[in-house]
Structure 1
Amino acid sequence: MMRLSPWLAAPLAAHRATFIKVGIAAVFTNVFALATSLYSMTVYNRIVPNNATDSLIALSIGMAIVLVFDFILRMLRGYFVDVAGREVDAKLGASVFQSLVSMKLANRQASSGAFAGLLREFETLRDFFASATIMALVDVPFVLLFLFVVWAIAGPVVLVPLLMIPVVVAASLVVQPGLDRLAGSVLGAGFSKQGVMVETISGLETVKASAAGTMLRGRWQAAVQESADVALRSRLLSAFATNVAASAQQIVYVGVVLYGVFLIAEGSLTSGSLIAASILAGRCVAPLAQVAGLMTRLSGTRAAYQRLDAFMSAGGEMAEGANPVRRARLEGRITFRNVVFHYPGTTTRVLDDVSFEVQPGEKVAIVGRVGSGKSTVARLVLGLYQPSEGQVLVDGADVRQLHPDDLRRNIGSVLQDVTLFSGSIRDNIALEDPAIDDEELLRLARISGTHDFVGQLAGGYDLRLADRGEGLSGGQRQSIAIARSLGGRPPLIVYDEPTSAMDSQSENALVSRLEAELKDRTFLLVTHRQPMLKLVDRIIILANGKVAAQGPRDDVLRSLAVGQN
C-alpha cells in the first residue's frame, strides 16, 4: 500500500468533510438505484396482471420524485468532487512551485523540458486522488448491497454476478505487474520527448543558425518512437482489463436472463423479479468495471508520485527544521575560507582552497582565464551553490545559515547568462516591487543605459517582451538586468560579465554612471573587459581554481603588463 507523504496527504486530508459529503451523496444515489429495479418488478408483478392504472400513476409519480432527487444528488456529488479537486489542485500547485523556487540547484539534473514535465505530473495525482478515485471507490461497497437485494428477490440468480466479480478483479490484478514495469518507461519517454521539444523551441535561432535541426530531429523521432512503443504496450494491457470488465457486464446480464428463464419455467421466479434482478446484476459489476479502469491508471499515478515525491522530499535551500539567521540589512563583507567546490556529479575541483576577503564598501574584480572558477565565486556568494569544503561568509555568517530571501534581497546581481521574464520592460526592472515607482524606475533605467534605447521602442517601458527577451540585443538585455540589480539599493553588488554584449561606447558610459551609484557599496565584479576595471580598487586573479595573485588594481595591472612584455 502506497503511503502518502505529507505534501500530498495534507491537502487531501483538509477536505475530509467534502469527501464525507460525497460519500453521503453516494449512499443515497445507490439506494435510489434500487428504486428503479423495484419499480420494474412491481409493475410487471402487480400492475400489469391487474391492470391497476391508478396504482401505476401513483407509483410513477413517486418514482419521478426519486429520479429528481437522484439527479440533484448526482450533481451535488460531482460538484463536491470538483470543488475539492480544484482546491487540492491549487494547494498542490502552490506547494510544487514553492519547492521549485527554493530547490537546491545541485538537485536539478534533468533538462528543463523534462523537469517541467515532471512538475506537471501533480495534475495526474490531483485527478487520481481527488476526482476519479473518489467517484469509483465510493460505489464499491454497494456491490454487497446489490448482491443482497438480487438474492432477496431472485434467489440463486445471484450466483451469476458472484461468479463474474472475481473474474473482473483477477483481470485487473493480472495486468498490474506489467503496467508497473511500463509506467516508469512511459513517464521517462514522455519527459525525453518534451525535453527535446523545449530545448528546440528555446534555442530555435541557434538551431537554425548552426544547422542543428538534423541532430534534434533524430532525437525527437527516437523519443517519439520510444514513447509510442511503450505507450502501445501499456494501452494493450489496460485495454485487456477494461474490456474484461465490459464483457463481464454483458455476460452477467445474459447469464441472469438465461438462468432466470429456467427458474420462471420452474415457477420459482416471476418475470418482474427477473427484470429487477437483471438491472441490479449489472449494477453489481459496474463499480468493479470502474475500479478496473482505475487500476490501469494506478501504475502511472504511482510512477508519477514516486518521481514527484523524490523532488518534493529532496529539501530546499534551507534544511528542514533549520533556524536561519535573519538579517534585514547586510553590510557587505564577503569572506572565502579555504573553499573547495566541484559541481554535482563531477569530481573536478572548480575552486581549490580559495581564500580571500572583501571589506564592506570595497570594490574587487575577479579575473582569470576561461574555466578558472570566476563565475563559480559569484554563484557561491549568491548562495546558489554551497561549497564542498570550507566556508563562504557574508557579514561573518555562513551563507548556508542566512535566510536565502535576506541574502538575495541585499545582493543585486547580474549573471553571465541574462534571463528576462515574460512581461513588460517595466515588469522586468521593478519585479512588482512597490518601492520602485516611476521616478525610481527612470533613475535605474538612466544609470543602466536602458532609457537610451527604450524611447526608440514603440511600447516604451510597457513593451511586452517575447520569451527570454527575444527581439532585444544582448547589450539591451544586459542593460535591463543591470537596472533590475540596482532596484532597492542593495548594499552588495555582484556582476558576472555584465557588459560582455555591449559596445565600447555604451560600456564606457555605463562605467561613468556606475561610479557614483556604487559609492559605499560592496562590489564584486567578474569580467574580462578592461573598462569595467575602472570601477574596482583591488583585483584577484584566479588560475586553475586557485588564487594566483591579488592586490591593488593598478599594481596588478602593471604586473600583468610587465608579464606580457
Structure 2
Amino acid sequence: NRLCNEVAYNLESVKVTQSYGFFEKQWNDINVINANVSTRQRYLVNALTQWAMSMQQLAYVITITVATYAAFEGKMTMGGIIALNILVSRTLAPMTRLSSLFIRWAQVKSSLKGLESIAQGEQDDPITQKKLRRPQLKGHLSLQNVEYSYEKEVDPAIQIGKLTIRAGEKVAILGPNGSGKSTLLKLLSGLYFTQKGEIKCDGLDMRQISERDLRRNINYFTQEVNLFNGTLRQNITFDDTEISDDVIIDVLQQTGLGGLLSSHPHGLDLPIKDGGIGLSVGQKQSVQIARMLLGKHNILLLDEPTASLDPNIEARLIQRLKQFSRDKTLILVTHRMPILELVDRIIVISNSRITADGSRDEILQRIQQVQKKENGS
C-alpha cells in the first residue's frame, strides 16, 4: 500500500521522469515479500485448522464416552446419544473455518482499499484507444480557444484565444501568482487535457499522441519537487544503467550538490527518504534540475526552475541551460530576472488571459515603464 500510495500521490513526477521500470521493479520485490508472507500465513491457517479439527475429534470422543456411561446407567437412550453427537458436530464445525476466515478477511479488506484508489485513476494509453506513435517530437506548439477549469463551478484557470510557439523557440511566461501560468504548462505537458479548444504539437492534437511519447519528448519541471524512497543516484537516474557515475557527479557539481556529495560517506548512494525528508528546498530543486539535464527531451517546460537556488548556482545553471536548450523548445515560468537571459520572447498572463506577447526587450521595457508610472504616482 505504501508504494501504491507513493506512486499515486507523485503520479505527475512518475510520468514526467518515465520511471515506470524503477517502480515496477519495486512492485515485483514487494510481491516476492508478499508471497513469502502468504506462505507463512497459509502454514498458520493449516496449523490452526488441524488444531480445530483435533479439538473437534476430541470433543466427539469425550461426548461418546460420557454418553455411553450415561446409557449404561439408564440416564440416556441410544437416540439421545445420536442427537447429542449431531448437536456437538453442528456446534464445532464452524470453528474449523474461523481462523482462515479471519486472515482472509484482513487481506481482502486491505487489498480492496489499495485497488479502489488505483482503479479510479486515469490510464495512460488505455487499450480501448489506439493513439498515434510519435517517438520524436520537434516541439511546435499551438493553442486555439483553450479553456481549463479545475472545478466546473469556478471560473477557468486559463483562457487562451490563440497562441503559437515555434519549435526551438525560447519563451518566458510572466505574471502574478494564480494567473494561470502553471496551469498552462501542465496543459502543454499533456498531464492535463483542455476542456475546450485544442492544443497541438507538431500539427497533431495532443490527445491523439501516445502519452508515453509525450513523456519521452517533454520534460515538465514542476514547482513541487517529489523525491522517492531510495538513494540519490536512484532519484536522479531511476536505475538507468546507461548514465555513468562520472556524468552524474559532473551534473551534481553544476547544480550545487557537489558539497553534499563530497561530505557524505555514501556519496551517490546517499539514502533519500520519502519526500526528500532531510534535504533543503534548494537541494531538492537541484536534484530535479539534475534529472532534467540528464534527460533527452526536446521540449522543456520549466516552472520556477531557479526559485530556491542561490545567485551563484543560478548563474552557473543559466550558462549550462544555454547550451543544453540550444536545439530545444524552452518555455519557462519565472519571477526572477536573471534567467530571462535564456529567452527571446516573453508572454505576460494576468487573470487567466494573455495580456502581452512580444520580444524580450520590448516586454521588459514596457514592464519598466509601467513600474515607473506606478512609482511616480
Indicate the TM-score class for this superposition, using the shorter chain for normalisation: 0.7 to 0.9
Deviations 1:192-215 (A, max 9, x none): xxxxxxxxxxxxxxxxxxxxxxxx
Q: Which residue of 2 aligns with 1:363?
A: 170
CA–CA separation in structure 2 for the residues paired with 1:312 and 1:436: 32
Cα distance in 1 for partners of 2:242, 2:249 equals 13
Among 294, 302, 305, the alignment partner of 1:487 is 294
C-alpha RMSD over aligned residues: 4.4
- Displacement of 1:284: 5.0
* Counterpart secondary structure, 1:329: coil
8 Å contact kept, 1:412–1:486 = no
* Cα distance between partner residues in 2 of 1:459 and 1:299: 43
Deviation at 1:359, TM superposition (A): 1.4
- Secondary structure of 1:445's partner? helix
Using the TM superposition, give the Cα deviation of residue 417 of structure 1 relative to its aligned residue in structure 2, in angstroms: 1.3
Q: Secondary structure at the match of 2:339?
A: helix
Does the 8 A contact of 2:170 with 2:342 survive in 1?
yes
1:194-233 → structure 2 map (5 Å cutoff): none
Q: 1:405 to 1:97 in 2, by over 3 A?
A: farther
Could you report, residue by residue, the CA deviation over 1:304-323 in whole angstroms, capped at 9, with x for unpaired residues? Answer: 56655543432533344122
Aligned equivalent of 1:350: 157
Identical positions, percent: 29
* Pairwise CA distance, 1:432: 1.3
| Cα 1:262/1:98, change in 2 over 3 Å | same
Whichever residue aligns with residue 325 of structure 2, its letter is L
Q: Which residue in the other structure is 1:325 paired with?
A: 132
Distance 2:364 2:115 in 1: 52
Secondary structure (helix, strand or coil) at the match of 1:391 reads strand
Deviation at 1:370, TM superposition (A): 0.5
Once residues 542 and 548 of structure 1 are traced to their aligned partners in structure 2, the CA distance between those partners, rounded to angstroms, is 6
**1:366 Cα offset (Å):** 1.3
Cα 1:404/1:484, change in 2 over 3 Å:
same
Q: Which amino acid aligns with 2:237?
A: A
Q: Does 1:522 align with 2:324?
A: no
Do 1:367 and 1:540's aligned partners in 2 also have CA atoms closer than 8 Å?
Answer: yes
Aligned to 2:242: 435
1:289 counterpart residue number: 95
Q: Residue deviations 1:274-294, cap 9 Å, x none? A: 7x9989975654441244566
Tell me the distance in 2 between the aligned counterparts of 1:469 and 1:104: 16
Match of 1:387 in 2: 194
Contact preservation (8 Å) 2:64, 2:85: no
Contact 2:149 2:155 in 1 (8 A): yes
Q: Which has the higher contact order (CA 8 A, sep 6+)?
A: 2
Give the aligned residue type for 1:313. Answer: A
Which blocks of at least 5 consecutive residues in structure 2 are unaligned?
A: 14-29, 373-377
Comparing 381-390 with 462-471, greater Cα deviation is found at 462-471
Displacement of 1:301? 6.9
Q: 1:553 to 1:253 in 2, by over 3 A?
A: farther
Give the distance between the partners of 1:487 and 1:280, measured in 2 at CA: 75
For the pair shown, the structure with the greater C-alpha radius of gyration is 1
2:177 is paired with a residue whose SS is coil
Hey, what does 2:21 align to over in structure 1? none
Higher strand share: 2
| Separation in structure 2 between the aligned mates of residue 378 and residue 490 of structure 1, nearest angstrom | 15
Count of residues paired in the alignment: 342
Shift of 1:457: 4.4
**Aligned partners of 1:426, 1:297: CA distance in 2, in Å?**
39
Report the secondary structure of 1:365's partner residue: strand
> Does the C-alpha gap of structure 1 residues 353 and 412 become closer, same or farther in structure 2, counting only changes over 3 Å?
closer
Per the alignment, in what secondary structure is the counterpart of residue 519 of structure 1? coil
What TM-score do you get using the length of structure 2 for normalisation? 0.73
Separation in 1, partners of 2:245, 2:329 = 26
1:415 is matched with which residue?
A: 222
Structure 1 spans left out of the alignment, 5+ residues: 1-91, 106-119, 144-245
Q: TM-score, normalised by structure 1?
A: 0.51
1:531 positional shift: 0.6
Say yes or no: does 1:500 pair with 2:307: yes
- The amino acid that maps onto 1:288 is P
User: Which one of the candidate residues 281, 284, 298 is aligned to 1:477?
Assistant: 284
Supply the AA of the counterpart residue of 2:283. Answer: Q
Q: 1:313 aligns with which of 105, 119, 143?
A: 119
Contact 2:300 2:328 in 1 (8 A): yes
Give 3-state SS (helix, strand or coil) of 1:311's partner.
Answer: helix
Residues 450 and 483, structure 1, Cα contact 8 Å, conserved in 2: no
Q: Does 1:377 align with 2:184?
A: yes
Does the C-alpha gap of structure 1 residues 459 and 252 become closer, same or farther in structure 2, counting only changes over 3 Å? closer
Aligned AA for 1:289?
M
Deviations 1:480-518 (A, max 9, x none): 211111213211111111111112222122212211111
- Alignment partner, residue 513 of structure 1: 320
- Return the alpha-carbon distance in structure 2 between the equivalents of residues 344 and 293 of structure 1: 48
Structure 2 residue aligned with 1:549, among 340, 347, 356? Answer: 356
Q: CA deviation at 1:365?
A: 1.0
Alpha-carbon distance in 2 for matches of 1:456, 1:315: 41
The alignment partner of 1:455 has SS state of: helix
**In structure 2, the residue corresponding to 1:507 is in which secondary structure?**
helix
